[in-house]
Amino acid sequence: MNLDALYQDVILDHYKHPQNKKLNATYDAQVHHVNPSCGDEITLNLSLSGGVVTDISWDGVGCSISQASVSIMSDLLKGKTIDQAEAISEKFLHLMQSKGSEKGDEDALEDAVALAGVSKYPARIKCALLGWMAFKDASVQAQ
C-alpha cells in the first residue's frame, strides 16, 4: 500500500467513525463555523480547566476532509495544555500552507499528517482548517 492510499484510509476512517462527535451539554465556549465555499459546518463545544483542554465535542456536516479533520483535531488536542494545543495548531496551519512540499511532523500531528496532501489543493485547505479555526476561536472565548 502506498502512502497516499494509507492516508486516504486514515481520512475515511475518521469520516466514517468520527471521534468526539456528540456535543457535550456542559462547556466553557461554543462556536459555530461554516465554510461556505464547500458547505461544511461545525459546532464545537470546548471545556478548559487550569490551562488544559479537558473536553472537545462537536457536531457537523460536510465533506470528508472537513469532518475527518475535526475528528482528528478533537482527538489530538483533548488533554493537551492550551500552549501545546496552540503549538500543534500552528504546525498544522504551516503544513496546510506548504503547497504539498512538506509531509508534516508526525510526532506532533499524529493522524493529522494524513491531510498533508490537501495542501496541494487551495480550494480544500479551508475544509481541512475549519475545525482547527473553530478550536482557536473557542479557546480564546473560553479563557
Q: Does 10 bind Zn ion (CB under 5 A)?
A: no
Residue 85 grid cell: 494545543
Cβ distance 56 to 74 under 8 Å? yes
**Shortest approach of Zn ion to residue 126 CB, angstroms?**
7
Q: Does 71 bind Zn ion (CB under 5 A)?
A: no
Residue 34 grid cell: 461554516
Q: Does 114 bind Zn ion (CB under 5 A)?
A: no
**Shortest approach of Zn ion to residue 111 CB, angstroms?**
18
Q: Does 66 bind Zn ion (CB under 5 A)?
A: yes
**Shortest approach of Zn ion to residue 33 CB, angstroms?**
12
Cβ distance 134 to 41 under 8 Å? no
3-state helix vs strand vs coil in the chain, percent to 5: 55, 20, 25
> What is the total count of residues that contact Zn ion (CB under 5 A)?
5
Neighbouring C-alpha atoms within 13 Å toward the C-beta of 68: 23
Q: Does 127 bind Zn ion (CB under 5 A)?
A: yes
Binding interface with Zn ion (CB under 5 A): 38, 40, 63, 66, 127
